[in-house]
Amino acid sequence: MMNPNNRTKGTYLRENWEPIQHQVETFTEYLNVIPEIQMVHTGGHSNDHSIILLKQGNETMIHMADLLLTHAHRKPVWVAAVDDYPMRSIIAK
């Protein structure tokens, strides 16, 4: 969001992210928010896209975020027109 590309620069407006930038913790691979919640960097939809793993006991739920915008996007090769890096989205799925 701090370094948007030509396609996204109209989306990440400075006045929206600057007031909260001190609250944002960046990461490159994964971030353990708490033991039960982990964010995993995938890229694809955007350069910094992440999915969320929610764990309870021996069970794990995955929130695919913008990699799975609708039920139609369950097919790995079906990507959204808004994906900045569609080939990376396919790999991430």
Query: How many angstroms separate the Cα of 32 from the Cα of each of 35, 40, 59?
Result: 6, 9, 17
**pLDDT for position 9:** 84
Q: State residue 33's pLDDT score.
A: 97
Kindly report the pTM of this predicted structure: 0.84
**pLDDT per residue over 17-61, tens digit each?**
899 999 999 999 999 999 999 999 999 998 889 999 999 999 999
Q: How far apart are the first and last CA of the chain?
A: 22
What pLDDT digit, counting tens, does each position of 60-87 carry? 999 999 999 999 999 999 999 999 999 9
